[in-house]
Structure 1
Amino acid sequence: MFPMSEVPRLVECRVCGGPAKRAITAPHLSIAGGSAFQLIDRTARSAHEPEVVDRLPARPKGAAQKVTTNPLHAKLPRS
């Protein structure tokens, strides 16, 4: 498979080594947007190159701490 802008004039057949004819197939279209592709790429990349975190990210100055009323959240560890 080649992008239409990069199609070579002649391609060798993988089976017999002779010249192969071009076959036009349906385009590979997707309903996913660019952000979905970024997420897929980032997920695939993180499988091989995970980002290592050794501490919590710094809280922006002036940012108020979020208060929760859920009693289950009281059991969570605090930093």
Structure 2
Amino acid sequence: MVHDEGVVPMPLYAYRCGEDGPVEVMRPLGTAPPTVPCPTCGADAPRTITAPRLASADRERVAAIDRAEASRTDPSVVSALPPRASRSSRPTRLDPRTAALPRP
């Protein structure tokens, strides 16, 4: 989600009226009261806890969350060690101050 400079994103808080059902209210982060008046009947609607809306997150973040969740219960299994890198393909040292250090 992209925001203009100086604009503070406001989360959507969920409440539930006993008579009229769900009520959603946008408030600055951390300022949601425990109850709000229902816009239809005026009765107090208590705040409810809902799942985060990850559909608006970028794909890379959602993929990382999915991989982390999958690794908790279904970790990937490796059947062999990765191939050993050849000696001729040494990594290039970017900092000349480390050129004199011993090499593996």
Q: TM-score, normalised by structure 2?
A: 0.34
**Structure that is richer in helix per residue:** 1
**Structure that is richer in strand per residue:** 2
With a CA cutoff of 8 Å and minimum separation of 6, indicate the structure with the bigger relative contact order. 2
Q: TM-score, normalised by structure 1?
A: 0.42
